[in-house]
Protein backbone atom coordinates (compact mmCIF):
# COMPACT_ATOMS: atom_id res chain seq x y z
CA UNK A 1 0.00 0.00 0.00
CA UNK A 2 1.41 3.38 -0.99
CA UNK A 3 2.12 5.93 1.69
CA UNK A 4 -0.08 9.04 1.49
CA UNK A 5 1.84 12.29 1.97
CA UNK A 6 -0.03 15.41 3.19
CA UNK A 7 0.87 18.68 1.49
CA UNK A 8 -0.50 22.19 2.09
CA UNK A 9 -0.82 25.14 -0.28
CA UNK A 10 -1.39 28.70 0.90
CA UNK A 11 -3.88 30.90 -0.96
CA UNK A 12 -2.83 34.53 -0.69
CA UNK A 13 -4.80 37.76 -0.66
CA UNK A 14 -3.57 41.27 -0.05
CA UNK A 15 -4.45 44.18 2.18
CA UNK A 16 -5.29 47.21 0.05
CA UNK A 17 -3.32 50.40 0.57
CA UNK A 18 -4.35 53.61 -1.13
CA UNK A 19 -0.93 54.66 -2.47
CA UNK A 20 0.24 52.53 -5.41
CA UNK A 21 3.88 53.27 -4.61
CA UNK A 22 3.61 51.74 -1.16
CA UNK A 23 4.47 48.12 -0.46
CA UNK A 24 1.28 46.16 0.00
CA UNK A 25 1.11 43.26 2.39
CA UNK A 26 0.27 39.73 1.24
CA UNK A 27 -1.39 37.64 3.94
CA UNK A 28 -2.41 33.97 3.92
CA UNK A 29 -6.17 33.75 3.50
CA UNK A 30 -6.56 29.98 3.67
CA UNK A 31 -4.71 26.70 3.22
CA UNK A 32 -5.70 23.70 1.12
CA UNK A 33 -4.61 20.36 2.57
CA UNK A 34 -4.05 17.75 -0.13
CA UNK A 35 -2.58 14.26 -0.23
CA UNK A 36 -0.51 12.44 -2.83
CA UNK A 37 0.33 8.76 -3.08
CA UNK A 38 3.96 7.94 -2.40
CA UNK A 39 6.74 8.50 0.09
CA UNK A 40 7.51 12.20 -0.25
CA UNK A 41 9.09 14.74 2.08
CA UNK A 42 6.29 17.03 3.38
CA UNK A 43 7.07 20.68 2.75
CA UNK A 44 9.98 19.88 0.44
CA UNK A 45 9.04 21.19 -3.01
CA UNK A 46 11.48 21.35 -5.91
CA UNK A 47 11.53 24.47 -8.05
CA UNK A 48 10.14 25.60 -10.33
CA UNK A 49 6.50 25.37 -9.28
CA UNK A 50 4.16 26.48 -12.05
CA UNK A 51 0.52 27.30 -12.70
CA UNK A 52 -1.49 27.69 -15.90
CA UNK A 53 -4.24 29.91 -17.23
CA UNK A 54 -6.92 27.62 -15.76
CA UNK A 55 -5.59 28.07 -12.22
CA UNK A 56 -4.07 24.58 -12.04
CA UNK A 57 -0.85 24.05 -10.05
CA UNK A 58 2.15 21.97 -11.14
CA UNK A 59 4.45 20.90 -8.33
CA UNK A 60 7.48 18.64 -8.25
CA UNK A 61 7.83 16.82 -4.93
CA UNK A 62 11.08 15.30 -3.70
CA UNK A 63 11.36 11.78 -2.36
CA UNK A 64 13.66 11.13 0.62
CA UNK A 65 17.23 10.25 -0.36
CA UNK A 66 19.92 11.66 -2.63
CA UNK A 67 19.13 13.76 -5.67
CA UNK A 68 15.88 15.44 -6.64
CA UNK A 69 13.92 12.31 -7.51
CA UNK A 70 10.16 12.63 -7.55
CA UNK A 71 7.14 13.19 -9.81
CA UNK A 72 5.48 16.36 -11.06
CA UNK A 73 1.84 16.58 -9.95
CA UNK A 74 -0.96 18.72 -11.38
CA UNK A 75 -3.62 19.96 -8.97
CA UNK A 76 -6.86 21.76 -9.67
CA UNK A 77 -7.48 25.24 -8.30
CA UNK A 78 -9.46 23.50 -5.53
CA UNK A 79 -6.53 21.28 -4.53
CA UNK A 80 -7.65 18.03 -6.17
CA UNK A 81 -4.83 15.96 -7.68
CA UNK A 82 -5.51 15.55 -11.41
CA UNK A 83 -2.39 13.92 -12.86
CA UNK A 84 1.08 12.59 -12.04
CA UNK A 85 3.99 12.95 -14.49
CA UNK A 86 6.95 10.58 -14.19
CA UNK A 87 10.21 12.54 -14.20
CA UNK A 88 12.51 9.51 -14.36
CA UNK A 89 15.48 10.38 -16.57
CA UNK A 90 14.45 14.03 -16.93
CA UNK A 91 16.90 16.91 -16.53
CA UNK A 92 16.45 17.74 -12.83
CA UNK A 93 13.52 20.17 -12.37
CA UNK A 94 13.21 21.41 -15.90
CA UNK A 95 9.67 21.11 -17.20
CA UNK A 96 7.14 23.32 -18.95
CA UNK A 97 3.34 23.28 -18.92
CA UNK A 98 1.30 22.80 -22.07
CA UNK A 99 -1.99 24.65 -22.75
CA UNK A 100 -3.91 21.34 -22.58
CA UNK A 101 -2.64 20.47 -19.08
CA UNK A 102 0.21 18.24 -20.21
CA UNK A 103 3.87 18.96 -19.60
CA UNK A 104 7.13 18.93 -21.54
CA UNK A 105 10.44 17.68 -20.13
CA UNK A 106 13.86 16.94 -21.56
CA UNK A 107 16.48 14.22 -21.35
CA UNK A 108 19.87 13.71 -22.92
CA UNK A 109 21.49 10.67 -24.53
CA UNK A 110 25.11 11.33 -25.33
CA UNK A 111 25.29 14.38 -27.59
CA UNK A 112 21.57 14.24 -28.39
CA UNK A 113 18.81 16.06 -26.54
CA UNK A 114 15.22 14.83 -26.55
CA UNK A 115 11.94 16.57 -25.84
CA UNK A 116 9.48 14.40 -23.88
CA UNK A 117 5.78 15.21 -24.28
CA UNK A 118 3.31 14.10 -21.59
CA UNK A 119 -0.44 14.23 -22.13
CA UNK A 120 -2.96 15.78 -19.70
CA UNK A 121 -3.51 12.38 -18.05
CA UNK A 122 0.20 11.98 -17.26
CA UNK A 123 1.08 9.44 -19.97
CA UNK A 124 4.13 9.96 -22.19
CA UNK A 125 2.92 10.89 -25.69
CA UNK A 126 6.21 11.09 -27.54
CA UNK A 127 9.94 11.78 -27.43
CA UNK A 128 11.51 13.76 -30.26
CA UNK A 129 15.18 14.48 -30.94
CA UNK A 130 16.11 18.15 -31.17
CA UNK A 131 18.16 19.64 -33.98
CA UNK A 132 21.53 20.95 -32.81
CA UNK A 133 21.45 24.77 -32.92
CA UNK A 134 24.45 26.71 -34.32
CA UNK A 135 25.47 27.53 -30.73
CA UNK A 136 24.84 24.33 -28.70
CA UNK A 137 23.96 24.88 -25.05
CA UNK A 138 22.82 22.99 -21.98
CA UNK A 139 19.04 23.48 -21.52
CA UNK A 140 18.09 25.28 -18.32
CA UNK A 141 14.76 26.89 -19.25
CA UNK A 142 11.74 25.53 -21.10
CA UNK A 143 8.46 27.09 -22.19
CA UNK A 144 5.74 26.06 -24.67
CA UNK A 145 3.99 28.52 -26.97
CA UNK A 146 0.24 28.23 -27.49
CA UNK A 147 0.97 27.24 -31.10
CA UNK A 148 3.11 24.29 -29.99
CA UNK A 149 6.62 25.65 -30.56
CA UNK A 150 9.08 25.32 -27.68
CA UNK A 151 11.58 27.86 -26.34
CA UNK A 152 14.72 26.40 -24.80
CA UNK A 153 17.47 28.48 -23.23
CA UNK A 154 20.67 27.85 -21.30
CA UNK A 155 24.43 28.22 -21.23
CA UNK A 156 27.26 26.87 -23.35
CA UNK A 157 30.12 26.17 -20.96
CA UNK A 158 32.88 25.34 -23.44
CA UNK A 159 34.26 27.19 -25.16
CA UNK A 160 33.59 30.72 -24.06
CA UNK A 161 30.60 30.66 -21.68
CA UNK A 162 28.00 31.79 -24.21
CA UNK A 163 24.30 32.03 -23.57
CA UNK A 164 21.99 30.23 -25.96
CA UNK A 165 18.28 30.52 -26.73
CA UNK A 166 16.41 28.76 -29.53
CA UNK A 167 12.89 28.03 -30.78
CA UNK A 168 11.98 24.49 -31.94
CA UNK A 169 8.83 23.21 -33.61
CA UNK A 170 6.89 20.27 -32.08
CA UNK A 171 8.87 17.82 -34.27
CA UNK A 172 12.17 19.07 -32.80
CA UNK A 173 13.30 21.07 -35.82
CA UNK A 174 15.11 24.34 -35.18
CA UNK A 175 12.96 27.37 -36.02
CA UNK A 176 15.38 30.11 -35.00
CA UNK A 177 18.31 30.76 -32.69
CA UNK A 178 17.46 33.88 -30.69
CA UNK A 179 20.12 36.49 -29.91
CA UNK A 180 19.39 38.56 -26.79
CA UNK A 181 21.27 41.85 -26.54
CA UNK A 182 21.70 41.63 -22.76
CA UNK A 183 23.40 38.24 -23.10
CA UNK A 184 26.30 39.83 -24.99
CA UNK A 185 27.01 42.07 -21.99
CA UNK A 186 26.83 39.09 -19.67
CA UNK A 187 29.25 37.13 -21.85
CA UNK A 188 31.77 39.99 -21.83
CA UNK A 189 31.59 40.17 -18.04
CA UNK A 190 32.10 36.41 -17.80
CA UNK A 191 35.13 36.55 -20.06
CA UNK A 192 36.79 39.49 -18.26
CA UNK A 193 36.36 38.68 -14.60
CA UNK A 194 36.42 35.41 -12.64
CA UNK A 195 34.00 36.72 -9.97
CA UNK A 196 31.67 37.98 -12.69
CA UNK A 197 31.96 34.57 -14.34
CA UNK A 198 30.39 32.84 -11.35
CA UNK A 199 27.74 35.51 -10.86
CA UNK A 200 26.70 35.78 -14.48
CA UNK A 201 26.73 32.08 -15.31
CA UNK A 202 24.41 31.68 -12.31
CA UNK A 203 22.22 34.46 -13.68
CA UNK A 204 21.74 32.46 -16.88
CA UNK A 205 21.43 29.04 -15.21
CA UNK A 206 18.77 30.30 -12.76
CA UNK A 207 16.79 32.25 -15.34
CA UNK A 208 13.10 31.41 -15.77
CA UNK A 209 10.91 31.01 -18.87
CA UNK A 210 7.10 30.99 -18.70
CA UNK A 211 4.23 31.31 -21.15
CA UNK A 212 2.08 34.40 -20.72
CA UNK A 213 -1.67 34.44 -21.19
CA UNK A 214 -1.03 36.52 -24.33
CA UNK A 215 0.75 33.56 -25.99
CA UNK A 216 4.25 35.04 -25.80
CA UNK A 217 7.03 33.38 -23.83
CA UNK A 218 8.69 35.53 -21.18
CA UNK A 219 12.34 34.71 -20.47
CA UNK A 220 13.74 36.33 -17.33
CA UNK A 221 17.48 36.63 -16.95
CA UNK A 222 18.24 36.57 -13.22
CA UNK A 223 20.55 39.59 -13.41
CA UNK A 224 20.42 42.58 -11.07
CA UNK A 225 18.10 44.18 -12.02
CA UNK A 226 16.40 41.31 -13.87
CA UNK A 227 15.70 41.64 -17.58
CA UNK A 228 12.58 40.00 -19.03
CA UNK A 229 12.34 39.33 -22.77
CA UNK A 230 8.94 38.84 -24.42
CA UNK A 231 9.55 36.42 -27.32
CA UNK A 232 7.20 35.29 -30.09
CA UNK A 233 6.90 31.77 -31.50
CA UNK A 234 8.79 32.98 -34.58
CA UNK A 235 11.75 33.88 -32.37
CA UNK A 236 11.31 37.66 -32.43
CA UNK A 237 12.00 39.70 -29.30
CA UNK A 238 8.78 41.70 -28.98
CA UNK A 239 9.72 43.59 -25.81
CA UNK A 240 12.56 43.95 -23.32
CA UNK A 241 11.54 44.84 -19.77
CA UNK A 242 13.92 45.85 -17.00
CA UNK A 243 12.23 45.21 -13.64
CA UNK A 244 13.10 47.45 -10.70
CA UNK A 245 13.46 45.32 -7.54
CA UNK A 246 11.49 46.25 -4.42
CA UNK A 247 13.58 48.06 -1.79
CA UNK A 248 15.83 45.81 0.28
CA UNK A 249 15.67 42.77 -1.99
CA UNK A 250 18.42 40.81 -3.67
CA UNK A 251 18.35 38.63 -6.75
CA UNK A 252 15.07 37.62 -8.39
CA UNK A 253 13.64 34.25 -7.41
CA UNK A 254 11.92 31.60 -9.52
CA UNK A 255 8.48 33.22 -9.36
CA UNK A 256 7.38 35.01 -12.54
CA UNK A 257 3.89 35.30 -14.05
CA UNK A 258 2.20 37.26 -16.85
CA UNK A 259 -1.57 37.74 -16.64
CA UNK A 260 -3.76 40.47 -18.14
CA UNK A 261 -0.87 42.75 -19.12
CA UNK A 262 0.69 42.44 -15.67
CA UNK A 263 4.15 40.99 -15.12
CA UNK A 264 4.90 39.74 -11.59
CA UNK A 265 8.47 38.95 -10.53
CA UNK A 266 9.37 37.43 -7.17
CA UNK A 267 12.44 38.61 -5.24
CA UNK A 268 14.08 37.20 -2.13
CA UNK A 269 15.45 39.08 0.83
CA UNK A 270 18.75 38.43 2.58
CA UNK A 271 18.79 36.29 5.73
CA UNK A 272 18.30 38.14 9.00
CA UNK A 273 17.57 37.15 12.59
CA UNK A 274 13.93 36.44 11.81
CA UNK A 275 13.82 34.82 8.39
CA UNK A 276 15.90 33.50 5.51
CA UNK A 277 13.16 33.11 2.91
CA UNK A 278 10.97 36.21 3.06
CA UNK A 279 9.86 37.33 -0.39
CA UNK A 280 8.73 40.47 -2.14
CA UNK A 281 7.03 40.94 -5.50
CA UNK A 282 7.28 43.62 -8.16
CA UNK A 283 4.36 44.18 -10.56
CA UNK A 284 4.90 46.09 -13.81
CA UNK A 285 2.88 46.83 -16.92
CA UNK A 286 4.02 44.19 -19.41
CA UNK A 287 3.61 46.51 -22.42
CA UNK A 288 5.46 49.55 -21.02
CA UNK A 289 7.57 48.22 -18.11
CA UNK A 290 6.01 50.86 -15.83
CA UNK A 291 6.06 49.84 -12.12
CA UNK A 292 2.52 49.32 -10.81
CA UNK A 293 2.89 47.90 -7.30
CA UNK A 294 5.13 46.10 -4.82
CA UNK A 295 4.03 43.36 -2.42
CA UNK A 296 5.58 41.95 0.73
Q: Please tell me the pTM assigned to this model.
A: 0.88
The string of pLDDT tens digits covering residues 139-150 is: 889 999 999 999
For position 243, what pLDDT does the model report?
94
Specify the higher pLDDT residue, 164 or 232. Answer: 232
For position 10, what pLDDT does the model report?
64
Whether pLDDT at 12 is above 60: no
Cα–Cα distance measured from residue 39 to residue 70, given in angstroms and rounded to the nearest whole number: 9
The string of pLDDT tens digits covering residues 206-242 is: 889 999 999 999 999 988 899 999 999 999 999 999 9
Three-state SS annotation for 211-262: ECCCCCEEEEECCCCCEEEEECCCCCEEEEEECCCCCCEEEEEEEEEEECCE
- Beta pairing, strands 249-259 & 4-14: unpaired
**Which percentage of the chain shows pLDDT scores above 70?**
82
Amino acid sequence: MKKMTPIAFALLSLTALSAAAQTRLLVAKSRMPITVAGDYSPGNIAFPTACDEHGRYYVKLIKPGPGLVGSVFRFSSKGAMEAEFDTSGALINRYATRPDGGVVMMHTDGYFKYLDNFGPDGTRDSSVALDRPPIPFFPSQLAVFHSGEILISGLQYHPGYKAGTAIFDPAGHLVKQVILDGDAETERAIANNAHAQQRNTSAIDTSVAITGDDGLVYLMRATSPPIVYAISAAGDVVRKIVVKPPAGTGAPDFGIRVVKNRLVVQFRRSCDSDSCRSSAYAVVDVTTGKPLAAYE
